[in-house]
Structure 1
Amino acid sequence: MDLELTDEQRELKSTVARLLRTEYDPAAREEILRSEKGWSEEKWASFAEMGLLGLPFSEDYDGADMGFAEVAVVMEEFGRALVLEPYLSTVVLGAGFVDAAGTPEQKQSILPAVIAGEKLLAFAGYEPTGRYDLNAPATTASESADGYTLTGEKSAVLGAPDAHTFVVSAAVDGTVGLFLVEADAQGVAVDARIQADGLRTGSVTLSAAPAQRLGHGDASEVIGRVIDTANAALAAEAVGAMEASLHMTAEYLKTREQFGAPIGVNQSLQHRAADAYATLEGAKSMALYAKLAITGEENADEGAGDAKSRHRDVLAAKLIIDEASRDISQESIQMHGGIGMTMEYPIGHYAKRLTVIPRTFDDVDTVTQDLASLGGLIEPHAVELS
């Protein structure tokens, strides 16, 4: 199995990296962060023009007909630059659900607009009383003359303040269904919030809000698959952010002088930096492992694993990457000293993002419990000793 990037993927990586180096430096990002929206419509339009919003979608809907491997390349570069635009919420989550569960008519009405940068989506699945459980929503769907109406409350909805359409999970006919709800529809109220990392989120309250069912039947399997894909995308983003953090820290150790010499000559700091780089290499391997779990299903003819294997592999990767994110972000701050605690210095912003990523769709305790319930990464087998 060839684990290297293809020529096409390397060109994509180079193109995105070049754009972000020239147009998304720390000063430009700080200006975007302090703007009213907290992200740039101009940058979003640039991403659409480059085709980044259509990478995983079929050419039938104006997409690039690629896959998750290319999305992972983009997410890693976005992690290096701490991109604020709603790529995860719109492309990976919202459009991911439409692509996985929608009817051909629903895909045709939504995906081209997303790919053109004209429509923003958000997934409203988590609830205040359910913590990280997506399989038993308290939000309910009732049939009406025009379709369905939804009633309930959703929390931690990434991209909620600017979304045009929500993909909402709700209990219906004894199963979990997915529904499309317009943000400006009657009965929809959004309470906007700002996360510690600066990304926009919010709570969504639905009071008999009109909705259209997305696809048909029980959506539990689709929800699990798209959330696994989103976790694998976050793994790639975390690797980019960790690598940028350590590069910035290494440069600081080389240039910050104390008592007439760079602080990097201190052997204890060298050991800590070396340990951090070893941690990063482990995280890179696990991000690749998560990517293979997703792309294996995309390429069924090359041998896809089942849903349980995919979920287990992504959870295992997430557990290692979440711990690496904590360790590297904390070490980077400590090796910078006092300047690392200031809002003006970029390293603190990387630490914030690397603190939020592990808590985006679940936390370390939940991942550990779920992985244990699946038998761990390597399922135990009895050994014949005779």
Structure 2
Amino acid sequence: MDFGQDEIALAISGLAGDVLRAECDPTTGDGYDERAWSALSKAGLLSLVLPTDLDGDGLGIGELAALLTEVGRRAAAVPALPTLALGALTVAQHGTAEQRDALLPSVGDGTTLLTAAVSEPGAPLPARPATTASSMLRRSGRYDDQNASRSTSGWRLTGTKTSVPDAMQAHRVLVTATTPDGVGVFLLDPQAEGVTVTSTPTSTGSPEHTLTLADAPAEPLGTDTTGVAAAALRNNGVAAALALGSGALAGALELTTEHLRTRHQFGKPLATFQAVAQQIADVYIAARTVELSTASAIWRLATGRDATEDIDVATYWLTTEALPAARTCHHLHGGLGVDVTYPLHRHYATLKDLARFLGGAGHSLDTLAGKER
């Protein structure tokens, strides 16, 4: 089986790599590199998943993963995961024509951010959220089972959502919530009445928030409230996080191998010492394991196959192996590895935030064992 990138993905990887090498600011400390985000937009890379009738490329998660891998490789402080994977791709797949027209064109030019609220206190990425969505028509006694799920207004959300990236900056938040018919995805204005937004810390410094919803007005995404759109949102987000993490670990490995090749001790390159060679070999094995398991999961998802088990396996490898491997990279750099003017710390911080977003190693192992399904 060949999981290698096709010509389109290779072109995206090459272009994204060139743009980020030229424009990524390694000194960004506030979690947002506006210059890099603008450059990605000018290169047309923010329009990959937009429909062709909105001047997009009409591509999917496979091609988006190629972009996100390069973003991770540079540990670029850009909102690619929430805006493109959680937001734009899901809206393109499941939104109505009116919703796509309203939300997506300004994503491509980099002026609109989207995000999603999919996790809850003590429950990363739950299949059945504790957050509920209720129809005002049902409350008033005028509920029509056949038409309520197609209503574009009159829904209210109640619950708490955690680990929501860029909630204050986003134009809309895609919120998963349990309905009388199943699980739906709802478009929420973070400035709406009934929404309390609380800032929470991250390792990278990127904006992240907790949303407390108390009868907050929202609009269903598309016409589905039975779980199909919610499952797609979760898969898009996890696959994107895996691609981003795979790239971040690969970037840390590249930085470390170059350091070991060029740094000398006792008159020899560090790479020639046996203990050093063994440790960097362990990092290489971890990086390749994450890369290959991620490629398998994204390939299955992109080709319409059941990707559940492959996604769970890749998530386990990333949350289990990436952070120890990154710590080894820090160790092999010596004091330079923790210097904030050197980019390695951004790779480590990115991996920490991604592991938390995915629930951590213990949760990933429980999910793989079937305890969380």
Report the AA paired with residue 319 of structure 1. Y
- Kept in 2, the 8 Å contact 1:168–1:181? The answer is yes
Cα displacement (A) at 1:123: 0.7
Out of 269, 283, 286, the residue aligned to residue 290 of structure 2 is: 283
Question: Is 2:367 aligned against 1:370?
Answer: yes
- Kept in 2, the 8 Å contact 1:126–1:134? The answer is no
Partner of 1:302: none
- Between 287-296 and 218-227, the greater mean CA deviation after superposition: 218-227
**Equivalent-residue separation in structure 1 for 2:309 and 2:2 (angstroms):** 22
- Kept in 1, the 8 Å contact 2:323–2:351? The answer is yes
Report the AA paired with residue 173 of structure 2. F
Partner of 1:254: 261
Question: Is 2:251 aligned against 1:244?
Answer: yes
Q: Across the two proteins, how many residue pairs are aligned to each other?
A: 359
Shift in alpha-carbon separation, 1:256–1:162, aligned structure 2, 3 A: same
- Between 157-166 and 224-233, the greater mean CA deviation after superposition: 224-233
Question: Is 2:56 aligned against 1:63?
Answer: yes
Partner of 1:357: 354
Q: Normalising by the residue count of structure 2, what TM-score does the alignment of the two structures yield?
A: 0.88
**Equivalent-residue separation in structure 1 for 2:332 and 2:341 (angstroms):** 17
Partner of 1:384: none
Cα displacement (A) at 1:253: 1.8
Report the AA paired with residue 121 of structure 1. L
**Equivalent-residue separation in structure 1 for 2:173 and 2:53 (angstroms):** 23
Cα displacement (A) at 1:162: 0.8
Shift in alpha-carbon separation, 1:149–1:226, aligned structure 2, 3 A: closer
- Between 74-83 and 342-351, the greater mean CA deviation after superposition: 342-351
Partner of 2:219: 212
**Equivalent-residue separation in structure 2 for 1:69 and 1:15 (angstroms):** 16
Out of 90, 106, 118, the residue aligned to residue 83 of structure 2 is: 90
Report the AA paired with residue 189 of structure 2. E
SS in 2 for 1:157: strand
Shift in alpha-carbon separation, 1:219–1:336, aligned structure 2, 3 A: farther
Question: Is 2:136 aligned against 1:143?
Answer: yes
Cα displacement (A) at 1:79: 0.7
Shift in alpha-carbon separation, 1:42–1:22, aligned structure 2, 3 A: closer
Partner of 2:29: 33
**Equivalent-residue separation in structure 2 for 1:178 and 1:281 (angstroms):** 35
Q: Which runs of 5+ in 2 are unaligned?
A: 141-152
Q: Normalising by the residue count of structure 1, what TM-score does the alignment of the two structures yield?
A: 0.85
- Kept in 2, the 8 Å contact 1:137–1:176? The answer is no
- Kept in 2, the 8 Å contact 1:188–1:205? The answer is yes
- Kept in 1, the 8 Å contact 2:3–2:296? The answer is no
Question: Is 2:61 aligned against 1:54?
Answer: no
Instruction: Please identify runs of 4+ aligned residues in structure 1 that moved more than 6 A.
Output: none
Mapping of residues 5-44 of structure 1, within 5 Å: 5-24=5-24, 28-30=25-27, 32-34=28-30, 38-44=31-37
Report the AA paired with residue 110 of structure 1. L
**Equivalent-residue separation in structure 2 for 1:131 and 1:9 (angstroms):** 30
Mapping of residues 148-167 of structure 1, within 5 Å: 148-167=155-174
Partner of 1:269: 276
SS in 2 for 1:183: coil
**Equivalent-residue separation in structure 1 for 2:363 and 2:332 (angstroms):** 30
Partner of 1:77: 70
- Kept in 1, the 8 Å contact 2:176–2:184? The answer is yes
Mapping of residues 167-246 of structure 1, within 5 Å: 167-246=174-253
Mapping of residues 293-304 of structure 1, within 5 Å: 293-297=300-304
Greater RCO (Cα-Cα under 8 Å, separation 6 or more): 2
